Structure 1
Amino acid sequence: MYRYNEVDARIVGERVAQFRDQTRRFLAGELSEEEFRPLRLMNGLYIQRHAPMLRVAIPYGHFSSHQMRKLAHIARTYDKGYAHFTTRQNVQFNWPALENVPDILAELADVEMHAIQTSGNCVRNTTTDAFAGVAADELLDPRPWCEIIRQWSTLHPEFAYLPRKFKIAVSGSLEDRAATWVHDIGLQVVRNADGEVGFRVLVGGGLGRTPVIGEQVREFLPGEHLLTYLDAVLRVYNRFGRRDNKYKARIKILVKAMTVEGFAAKVEDEWQHLKDGAATLRAQDIAHFASFFTAPAYEVLPPHPVELTAAMDAQPAFVRWLERNTRAHRQPGYRAVVLSLKKTGVPPGDITAEQMDAVAGMAERFGFGEIRAAHEQNLILPDVREQDLFALWTLAREWGFATPNIGLLTDMICCPGGDFCGLANAKSIPVAEAIQRRFDDLDYLHDLGEIDCNLSGCINACGHHHIGHIGILGVDKNGEEWYQITLGGSQGNLASLGKVIGPSFAQADIPEVFEKILGVYIARRQAGERFIETVRRIGLVPFKESVYAQHH
């Protein structure tokens, strides 16, 4: 893991002191609401429906058991005893008192954490594959590159006031698990014919009001030119992006307006002034950042240890969990384990302070004290010995982390929605819970197979509904909450946007609508065909006919 140096610590410490003074002045009436707003947003503080919300950065979703314990302490001391993991691999506290926020930021600084650039029109938290560094299909560990981007983008004076927020994702594996196609910039690690490492650069993806799949602007960018090229992209955006209309301010709108060829030409033009300049990465720079992400002290272990095979023979439920909630590891004798935050009745991504402490303990007992936050709102223990999997499963069950539903219908991505968010048109958490309760039969879920269900409470699409195989969007109809259904979205290598199937539904009807959609899939699927494959093959009409036949 990356560790702060003296400069990092000083910058974060100074920011805490600065914000403490700004908060004091605001509470004393010396700063107006309007003057304080940009200052609080620079420190990740939003004013939500009921209370302030503090968003804490977890760079590329990577943190330690020590940091997790601090988050638990903050939840217990300054909040209502829980926190929420987001689709940006960050963590949010929903109920801090404004006067306590400087103290919270000071506590975070003690463990090398902060809330800088988790809000505002700047480069937000760079995200990556939650299995980075351990995935069996990895070409190259993307985390050193994420750290390079993080250091370049944090407090970058030129990009502090972009036309709109800006999100970058990096993928280093054969399968894109970082949703690079729907980010402002998506970087995919590739090797060219000479074996040199570089990036395929995608620009202009995004969800929200106008969902767009990104476009390739460069097939191969040599690694040493990463920052100068990113500078060029952001300069073009900063110069030509719209500032007159926030709904048309994202880079995706600019790329569409200029055409991808026109945009790429402008970037190449700008890059000529920057290429080989001061921000060019030398081999020793890359090596320096890579040195923070060395493999832990793995043991040489035999595959399929007796502890594992014996437990598999004795416990069918354990076998099901192994299949769904663990992943192949590049090191023989180890697995990566997903701790599900999708237990029925719990808002997706929510976790109590006690559970956070428990996860920290598991990370130390069964790994090397490392934890990952996935954009699917689950947590990952990246390095678990196969011989320890049964003991971990037993403990995870006690703490509510062992629901064997990863990748299945009830492993939903869901924003906080109208229960918390001032922007939401509709509640999302009760809808997620209604679906989880209706489809609580694990045998049925496993028979349905992989289905990504994503739910957003408004058009801003924090729940990534556009790229769910089944997407749900909360809409306002004359002051009432209704829900639109989309089908056919997906993330990964074949990223696609879902299409709306027809008029929206009342909240109470959603579970029944799902029954009908899934009924069509079961009736029409071919052997071994996943839900998304059936949708792509037969189209939306059979689903529409079934859903709306008796509905109207």
Structure 2
Amino acid sequence: MYSYTDFDAAFVAERNRQFRAQVERRIAGNLTEDEFKPLRLMNGLYLQLHAYMLRVAIPYGTLNGAQMDTLALLAEKWDKGYGHFTTRQNIQYNWPELRDIPDMLDALAEVQMHAIQTSGNTIRNVTADHFAGATADEVADPRPVAELLRQWSTDHPEFQFLPRKFKIAVTGAEQDRAVIKAHDIGIQVVEKDGKIGYRVLVGGGLGRTPMIGKEIASFVPQQELLPYVEAVVSVWNLLGRRDNKYKARIKITVHEHGIEDIRARVDARFEETRKAFDGTDLAIFDEIKAQFAAPAFRNAPEDDFTAAYDADPVFRAWADSNLSAHKAPGYAIAQISLKAHGATPGDATAEQMRVMAQLARDFGHDELRITHEQNVVLPHVHKSDLPQVHKILKAHGLATANIGKISDIIACPGMDYCALATARSIPIAQEIATRFDELKIENDIGELKIKISGCINACGHHHVGHIGILGLDRAGVENYQITLGGDATETAAIGERTGPGFPAEGVVPAIERIVETYMKERTSPEETFLQTFRRTGMAPFKTALYGEEAGKKARAA
């Protein structure tokens, strides 16, 4: 993984020094909160519902054991003992004191971490496939590209005051685990005539106006990616709406102008930007790629794994749910669920973070990943070590066998923390997970992704959930809209709204009726919820939720 250069370390240290002085001025009363706001946002500090919140960058979701240990230290020393992993592959601390923020940032800098550009109208933390470098289905590891984009975008003088925030995601595989179609720019590593290049999508996004990204270029050669991306952002920076923040994102610009017009403008701008790149970026890219070499995988028998799998049904259930195929013989990708039934999705205690850090050192080539689904990954674990890994995870409440299942819920912090939220997300997620654990049908249901947002900003990705839940305020009462058929993968789709919303106490019964309908309608236990919905349409689910008349209208439509 990437290691800081002397320049990187000096840059972060200077930013921290500057921000320490700004914090001191705010505490002394020499800066008002309005004057302080743009300064704190440049350093990942928000003012939330109850307290300041610090959002720490985990670029493309990759970190090592020492870095995870430091995240644990921040939680234990300066917060309430836990952190919250987000859908941006970052971590948030919801209760720090303002006076402690500079010390937190200095502690992060010691392990080559920061909070720069995790907020504000700039290019945010670049995200990537959490299986990158480990999965056999990728053309190439996308993380070097993500790191190149991170370095290019950090403090880019033209892009520090964009019309709105800007998000980039990168994947190296045909199977999309990075939700690239729901980003301002989505990049897929592709191969053409034996050469590596990039398919580029533009104009995706969720929030108030959800849209699926459109292809703007089918193949950008490797040496032209940075000037091409710069051309895209530059065009939007000039065209983007600054009179209305709800219409400022690039998805609205693409929608208003059309993809053909945007492509023509980008191509014209590209002719200019490519001249400004003298090849330095390519030399840097080569240096970056060298730091992402695969670890030294070992060759060992898998007897311990096979014996445990055959003898222990608990281990077998975890292995079937939480392990994925690895490109190296004898290895597996192990996902650690932060979704124990009834727990807050994405939360990890300081103790749990330290356990995961030690597991990475002992069994995972000192590497961890954070997923956009708010879980943690050990990307390189030899199968012979998995029984011991599972035993340790189980002892610390981290061995829930539910990856991709109904209790593996994405949920934003909602009204428990966020000043923008209009409804709670966390209690709804907890109630759903607890209920289906009680029913003991989670395994029978199979793959079913529920995503919950506490407001229209859609931090919980509800638009692309197989079942999406959006919490809103209706005359002072929490009301929850349900959508069905969303998809965050390479076959991305925005979910369809079922109809009128439900009160908080009606959400779990509504989800039960949806699941019952799915299990009744599916053609076999192998047919997933999404497959069933795409085959049957909305009608049977409307009938289950609102009655026969609603179902008839859906069928007629």
| TM-score with structure 2 setting the length | 0.97
2:327 aligned partner: 330
Distance 1:389 1:341, change over 3 A: same
Looking at structure 2, the residues matched to 388 and 238 of structure 1 have their Cα atoms a distance apart, in angstroms, of 50
Structure 2 partner of 1:416: 413
In 2: Cα distance, 1:306 partner to 1:370 partner: 24
Is the Cα–Cα contact under 8 Å of residues 68 and 357 in structure 1 kept in the other structure? yes
Q: Per-residue deviation at 1:318?
A: 1.0
Structure 1 residue 301: Cα displacement = 3.0
Q: Secondary structure at the match of 1:158?
A: coil
- Aligned-residue offset at 1:286: 2.9
Ranges of 4+ aligned residues in structure 1 off by more than 6 Å: none
Aligned residue for 1:210? 209
Q: Measure how far apart 1:171 and its partner are.
A: 0.6
Shift of residue 551 of structure 1?
12
What is the CA distance between 1:277 and its match in structure 2? Answer: 3.3
Q: Does 1:170 align with 2:170?
A: yes
Where does residue 268 of structure 1 map in the other structure? 267
Alpha-carbon separation, structure 2, partners of 1:367 and 1:190 = 28
Cα displacement (A) at 1:346: 1.3
Match of 1:120 in 2: 120
The CA deviation at 1:31 is 1.0
> How has the CA–CA distance of structure 1 residues 249 and 280 changed in structure 2, closer, same or farther, with 3 Å as cutoff?
farther
Tell me how far apart the structure 1 counterparts of residues 43 and 280 of structure 2 sit (CA, whole Å): 29
Identity %: 52
- Tell me: CA distance 1:26–1:284, structure 2 relative to 1, closer, same or farther (3 Å): closer
Distance of 1:407 and 1:120 partners within structure 2: 32
AA matched with 1:296: P
Partner of 2:160: 160
Structure 2 partner of 1:472:
469
Is residue 519 of structure 1 aligned with residue 490 of structure 2? no
Partner of residue 369 from structure 1, selected from 366, 369, 377: 366
Question: What is the distance in 2 between the residues matched to 1:275 and 1:47?
Answer: 40
Alpha-carbon separation, structure 2, partners of 1:93 and 1:542: 42
Cα distance in 1 for partners of 2:190, 2:438 equals 41
Equivalent position SS for 1:451: coil
Contact 1:469/1:532 (8 A) holds in 2: yes
Report deviation, 1:364. 1.0
Contact 1:340 1:402 in 2 (8 A): yes
Partner of 2:542: 544
Partner of 1:532: 530
Q: Which residue of 1 aligns with 2:242?
A: 243
Q: Deviations over 1:227-269 (max 9, x none)?
A: 1001100110000100000000000000000100011100001
Confirm whether residue 57 of structure 1 aligns to residue 57 of structure 2. yes
Letter aligned with residue 347 of structure 2: D
Q: Write out per-residue CA displacement over residues 144-181 of structure 1, whole angstroms, 9 at most, x where no aligned residue.
A: 11110000000101000000000000010120110000
CA deviation vs aligned residue, 1:39-61 (integer Å, no higher than 9, x gap): 00001000000110000000100
The one-letter amino acid paired with 1:45 is L
- Map 1:3-402 onto structure 2 (within 5 A): 3-192=3-192, 194-278=193-277, 280=279, 284-302=283-301, 305-402=302-399
Alpha-carbon offset, residue 365 of structure 1: 1.3
The 1-side partners of 2:153 and 2:282 are apart by 20
CA distance in 2, matches of 1:280, 1:441: 59
Alpha-carbon distance in structure 2 between the residues aligned to 1:217 and 1:316: 49
Deviations 1:271-323 (A, max 9, x none): 11122432656654332110010111111234xx2111111111112111111
Secondary structure in 1 matching 2:158: helix
- What RMSD in Å do the two structures reach over aligned CA positions? 1.3
Amino acid aligned to 1:293: F
CA distance in 2, matches of 1:51, 1:213: 34
**Deviation of 1:502 (Å):** 0.4
Q: Which residue of 2 aligns with 1:495?
A: 492
Cα distance in 1 between the residues matched to 2:321 and 2:303: 21
SS in 2 for 1:164: coil
1:429 aligns with 2:447: no
Measure the CA separation in 2 of the matches of 1:200 and 1:229. Answer: 11
Structure-2 change in CA distance of 1:337 and 1:551 (3 Å): farther
Unaligned runs of 5+ in 1: none
Contact 2:543 2:549 in 1 (8 A): no
C-alpha distance in structure 2 between counterparts of 1:542 and 1:551, whole Å: 11
Tell me which amino acid in the other structure corresponds to 1:520. Answer: T
- The question of whether the paired residues in 2 share the 8 Å contact of 1:227 and 1:279 is answered with no
Q: Which has the larger displacement, 54-63 or 270-279?
A: 270-279
Give the deviation of 1:67 after TM superposition: 0.7
Deviations 1:14-52 (A, max 9, x none): 011100100111111111111100000001000000110
State how far apart, in whole Å, the 2-side matches of 1:50 and 1:482 are: 23
SS in 2 for 1:471: strand
Cα pair 1:325 1:405 within 8 Å, conserved: yes
In structure 2, how many angstroms separate the alpha carbons of the residues matched to 1:83 and 1:71?
8
Aligned-partner Cα distance in 2 for 1:471–1:394: 34
The 3 A distance-change label for structure 1 pair 323 and 207 is: same
Task: Name which of 432, 435, 446 aligns with 1:449.
Answer: 446
The answer as to whether partners of 1:225 and 1:281 remain within 8 angstroms in 2 is no
Residues 228 and 279 of structure 1 are in contact (CA less than 8 Å); yes or no, is this contact kept in structure 2?
no
Structure 2 runs not aligned, ≥5 long: 551-557
Residue deviations 1:391-424 (CA, integer Å, cap 9, x gap)? 1111111111111100001100000000000000
Note if contact 2:176-2:489 (Cα within 8 Å) is conserved in structure 1: yes
User: How far apart are the structure 1 equivalents of 2:507 and 2:177?
Assistant: 28
Q: Secondary structure at the match of 2:437?
A: coil
Residue aligning to 2:554: none
* Whole-angstrom CA distance in 1 between matches of 2:300 and 2:461: 39
CA distance in 2, matches of 1:369, 1:285: 24
Could you tell me which amino acid in structure 2 is paired with residue 227 of structure 1? L
1:362 partner SS: helix
**Aligned-partner residue type, residue 363 of structure 1:** A
Q: Deviations over 1:456-479 (max 9, x none)?
A: 000000000000000000010001
